[in-house]
Structure 1
Amino acid sequence: MSTGHVVVDGAICKCQFGDVPDVLVVKSHQKGYINDDGAKKLIANTMDLGSPFKAKTFGQCKLQPMGSSFKPCMPMITQWQEFYDKAILSNQGQILTEKSKATCAIAGAPCVEFTWHGQTAEGGVGNTKEEADEEMQSQLNPLVNPNEEPFLAQELNGGTFDDTGKPIEKRKINVQIETIKTTFVPLGIAAFDGKEENEYLKFKIKISENPADKMKIKVFQNGEPYYNNDIKESSMLSLGEHEWKWDGFGDYGDYDSKSFVDNDIAIEVTVWLDGHEESHRITLENKKSIKEDWVDISIQKNIKEIIVNLRVNLKDGGSKGLSNAHKIPILVKNHFKKTALRDQTIGFETLKDLALEGIAKHWSRKIRIKGSEFDFKVRVVNTATKSMDDIKLVYNTNSRPLGSSNPGSISDLNSMFANIFVPEVIVMNFGYIKHKGEDPLGLDGWRYLEGTITSDNFKYVAAHEIGHSLLKAYGGSSHSYAHKKSSTLLTQNPLKEEEGGYLYPEAPDEIDVMKYYNDDPYFYDFNRVFAQPEDIYGLIWLNKLKIK
């Protein structure tokens, strides 16, 4: 039989998220047996649900982290797949085979499988080889007591029969599937203007000749099983054309935009009628990202985690102001007791690491999507391949503070002029820096900047400037350059409150990493600075795909 050996009481199971096996205990019925080396073993079936195991655990559950370890596994089987479907036992269960898999409520997908079917039949002493082989097959192949289940022996021996045992002629059926051209955004995140996006890939399934008894749709990624869908709705089994939708996620609640684009994706539909099956398989052609190629996304719905891989192109912009060390007033140096810098004390590699850390810190957060809270994490890589426009990291000292800016790539008239007149640069102002405004120390505005607060400020500035590329890609250059309507477009000054601007939020409220505040203090409360949910949605939306 193509489905392999029948599984019986005492079979060995394992869970892909556990670390120890367990033994299956059949308690769902007391009628269907297979003779096993002189003893009778109950046949395992789809009604063996809940926790039908001897130890009732597969060790530690890797889907439930707890500190440096994991919570104990407490399996809860909700359904079985890949069972023998041509017969029904007296308890209305269908026979499990060594290829059957179980879905656990924790994983939400098939994760428990058999490593041994539980049968140990051998030919009797004194039997000839032919007799032993025949006896072996009668025990190991799917066969229950014909006196207890008279219909079952007929079904398992092949064919379909009426109540009198007369063979019934099999009807024909045909099925086809094709792709419906569409665009697709994971989780259905809307566009910046509020326009709804397709949360599902769409397919057309056509059933002809006769309605189906049942249907299964499988998705393969590079030839490996990725997603299974048992279709039970009678409307989908009828003659004619039907629309089937898929959200792009696999059996374990996983979606990866890069793998989806780069790997071969095949869709196979199988229908059954009178025990006969027909299948049709297609491959998704011309899958491509239609937004930015410098961002990929990985979503794990079961553990509520979203990981964004962001590729930036940070370059060494050198240093400014080192030659001005002799211009620092003696009064200033005596006050701070610091020597004016003549060498770049923080090199490019350190600046790069600080920038990457800042982007990840201020763009990672908890976020709610359609009623569920996800842990949104940003991972940043510095590379010149499939990355954002390059931006320089500059070390500035012994002068007035230099501002940072990032107009990003040219996409419209605003960004074209911005690229002409505005540099793409992230600046570390370090050492002696001369500020404008009030001078309570009487030092002509000079301050000496160093330490953690200077590094934290640079991290924040890096997150802000890289954020401009994200905002511009999602909402356009005006949305980005006006800092989400918190600043003027040309002069880049914070808007006053009466002009629609924002006051600096008081603790414990979050500080928007992308907004300007009209009473923005010099020293930030950096642990309150985060990208806001509407901008995180945009980062997910940038993974929009087109399926032809």
Structure 2
Amino acid sequence: MGTSVSFGKYSPSVVEDLDFDIEFSLDASQNTVVPLGILDFKNNYENPYFAFNYSLLKSPVEELHFQITDESGKPIYNMGYLEPIIITAPKKAKIQQDAKSNAPVFNLENPIKSWKYESIFKPYILTQPDFTQPGSYTIYWDGFDNDEVFDSKNFDGKRLIAKITAVKGSSQKSIEIDFTTIYNEVKWVDVKINKKTKKIDVELRVNLKDGGAEGFDIENYHEPLDDPRMPSRQRHPSEGIPKEYRDRMRYPPIMSPTRSYQQLEQLAIEGLNYHWGRNSNHFIAKNVLIAEEPYEINVNAVNSNDDVKAIDDISLIYNTNGPWMRSGNPGTVEGIVSAVGNLVSREAICYNVGYLKYSNGWGYRRESQEDLEFKDTAAHEIGHTVLKAYGGTTYSYGHKGSVNVVTQNKKSSAPTLPLRGEIDLMPYFRENELGGEGSQPNYHARRVAAEKDVLSLLWLTKIKIR
């Protein structure tokens, strides 16, 4: 700052010192971001912010502006609308340590996956006059745009540009940096989180295939007393249904599929949307709690043949007039357990209807019953892919600890079917005083993915920065 003197009359005037410098860079220590800081499977802290290093040198400035745009220059976030978190750089290490040590401890009985991490940052947040003074700072941005919406598609293999501008009088200086973001975990789920409406939309891409129909092809067989050297006889599968059972039930056998593949596909999609959604349309599971605030989660399952951006393919099979078919989804081979699973389990969701042979004899299942069961089964089997991606093979194959991982036999420690309230979609249950699943009131309506597992869909959109 200097003064000037006019001859004849002393007239001091201020000459503005416009000399300042700024430095700006991506904080390389924060190389992943999880929306809303959803904790990992073991409740380890996950970073919820993109972080940038900013320094102001020489003298104060009057204004500071921070902006994120996509590679075309379209704004995603402008500081003027929604303030980011800005702290002094020396406080960064302490905040990170506090956040890690204060994350909820994993509790199997109450597996909290969301917590108020903002409370760790709050005491250190600076206001506008503070960060316009010379010093070093960290700017945290949570990925939400100026409408308070986080759209994970903004970060799926995208190049972004961060820009900071400092203004003092007529002097203005800017620095731009570009960085890329990719999904770190899977490519088959996107989320859109709206903080204003407290709604979360999940797009879950599956790869459903037509597995054909069983129970209609002419089959070869021998009667028990036939000489095995004789040529086999032929019959329609429906002829193998015991006549006395058919006479008692009085239903004609199914001679052609009563559900097309397209109908099975739609049932599977509806099952995923209902049983993985937690919203006002669900019978009992109305929301999830994120930082103690209720959010509705709506799942929109989409059938896609994109092998890269969809869950590993699984077949839909129509089955009747023979043995009941077990559904399964062993998924990709990633170890001994999954290798064994692929050997012993088909990768299919089976629609079992009409006359069926069970381990204890023949039975009959109507379409109205099987529609509900098929929706439930589709949500359960495809849910194994979600559990495996979040918690690993043991968590998935073990049905959340309720069965032996290899034999799939139910454990004596498996939970008992709840008499009321939610029924977790993924574990096996022991009977309660009413009996098994068929004896429970509103059984299929009460079935839903647990809050922990639904929140894992958000965690699976974890972003890697580079």
TM-score > 0.5 by shorter chain: yes
Find the counterpart in structure 2 of residue 314 from structure 1. Answer: 208
Does structure 1 retain, via aligned residues, the 8 Å contact 2:158–2:182? Answer: no
1:516 aligns with 2:428: yes
- CA distance in 2: counterparts of 1:336 and 1:491, whole angstroms: 35
**What amino acid sits opposite 1:539 in the alignment?**
L
- CA distance in 1: counterparts of 2:150 and 2:213, whole angstroms: 43
Find the counterpart in structure 1 of residue 465 from structure 2. Answer: 547
1:132-159 Cα deviation digits (max 9, x unpaired): xxxxxxxxxxxxxxxxxxxxxxxxxxxx
Q: 1:217 to 1:349 in 2, by over 3 A?
A: same
- CA distance in 1: counterparts of 2:402 and 2:12, whole angstroms: 81
1:475-509 Cα deviation digits (max 9, x unpaired): 0001001100111212212222xxx21111102x1
Q: Name which of structure 1's ranges 237-246 and 190-199 shifts more when overlaid on structure 2.
A: 237-246
Find the counterpart in structure 2 of residue 66 from structure 1. Answer: none
Does structure 2 retain, via aligned residues, the 8 Å contact 1:249–1:255? Answer: yes
Does structure 2 retain, via aligned residues, the 8 Å contact 1:367–1:376? Answer: yes
Does structure 1 retain, via aligned residues, the 8 Å contact 2:157–2:183? Answer: no
1:490 aligns with 2:406: yes
Counterpart mapping for 1:158-173 below 5 A:
166=13, 168-173=15-20
Find the counterpart in structure 2 of residue 375 from structure 1. Answer: 296
Q: 1:423 to 1:170 in 2, by over 3 A?
A: same
**Aligned match of 2:452 in 534, 540, 546?**
534
Per-residue deviation, 1:170: 3.4
Q: Which has the higher contact order (CA 8 A, sep 6+)?
A: 2
- CA distance in 2: counterparts of 1:488 and 1:228, whole angstroms: 52
1:80-115 Cα deviation digits (max 9, x unpaired): xxxxxxxxxxxxxxxxxxxxxxxxxxxxxxxxxxxx
Find the counterpart in structure 1 of residue 7 from structure 2. Answer: none
Per-residue deviation, 1:403: 0.8
TM-score, with normalisation over the residues of structure 2?
0.77
Per-residue deviation, 1:361: 0.5
Find the counterpart in structure 1 of residue 224 from structure 2. Answer: none
1:404-441 Cα deviation digits (max 9, x unpaired): 1101112222212222332211111100012344xxxx
- CA distance in 2: counterparts of 1:489 and 1:167, whole angstroms: 79
Per-residue deviation, 1:469: 0.2
Per-residue deviation, 1:523: 6.0
Per-residue deviation, 1:401: 1.4
Does structure 1 retain, via aligned residues, the 8 Å contact 2:155–2:183? Answer: no
**What amino acid sits opposite 2:447 in the alignment?**
V
Find the counterpart in structure 1 of residue 114 from structure 2. Answer: none
**Aligned match of 2:312 in 389, 394, 399?**
389
1:53-82 Cα deviation digits (max 9, x unpaired): xxxxxxxxxxxxxxxxxxxxxxxxxxxxxx
Other structure's SS at 1:284 match: strand
Which structure has the bigger radius of gyration? 1
Per-residue deviation, 1:262: 4.4
Does structure 1 retain, via aligned residues, the 8 Å contact 2:24–2:54? Answer: yes
- CA distance in 2: counterparts of 1:546 and 1:250, whole angstroms: 19
1:287-331 Cα deviation digits (max 9, x unpaired): 111100111111111111111111111111112222411111222
Does structure 1 retain, via aligned residues, the 8 Å contact 2:34–2:459? Answer: yes
Residue ranges of structure 1 left out of the alignment (5+ in a row): 1-163, 438-444
Find the counterpart in structure 1 of residue 35 from structure 2. Answer: 186
- CA distance in 1: counterparts of 2:465 and 2:137, whole angstroms: 19
Find the counterpart in structure 2 of residue 60 from structure 1. Answer: none
**What amino acid sits opposite 1:359 in the alignment?**
L
**What amino acid sits opposite 2:463 in the alignment?**
L
Find the counterpart in structure 2 of residue 175 from structure 1. Answer: 22
- CA distance in 1: counterparts of 2:73 and 2:298, whole angstroms: 30
Q: 1:460 to 1:412 in 2, by over 3 A?
A: same
Other structure's SS at 2:266 match: helix
**Aligned match of 2:371 in 438, 455, 468?**
455
Q: Name which of structure 1's ranges 316-325 and 426-435 shifts more when overlaid on structure 2.
A: 316-325
- CA distance in 2: counterparts of 1:523 and 1:375, whole angstroms: 30
**What amino acid sits opposite 1:363 in the alignment?**
W
Find the counterpart in structure 1 of residue 397 from structure 2. Answer: 481
**What amino acid sits opposite 2:301 in the alignment?**
V
Does structure 2 retain, via aligned residues, the 8 Å contact 1:200–1:246? Answer: yes
Output the aligned Cα RMSD.
Answer: 1.8
Per-residue deviation, 1:263: 4.3
**What amino acid sits opposite 2:175 in the alignment?**
H
Per-residue deviation, 1:275: 4.4
Identity of aligned residues (%): 33
Counterpart mapping for 1:96-111 below 5 A:
none
Counterpart mapping for 1:237-386 below 5 A:
237-285=132-180, 287-322=181-216, 323-365=236-278, 366-385=287-306, 386=309
TM-score, with normalisation over the residues of structure 1?
0.65
- CA distance in 1: counterparts of 2:174 and 2:427, whole angstroms: 55
1:226 aligns with 2:142: no
Other structure's SS at 2:140 match: strand
Q: Name which of structure 1's ranges 359-368 and 201-210 shifts more when overlaid on structure 2.
A: 201-210
Does structure 2 retain, via aligned residues, the 8 Å contact 1:170–1:276? Answer: no
- CA distance in 2: counterparts of 1:435 and 1:241, whole angstroms: 71
Per-residue deviation, 1:169: 3.1
Find the counterpart in structure 2 of residue 430 from structure 1. Answer: 353
Q: 1:502 to 1:374 in 2, by over 3 A?
A: same
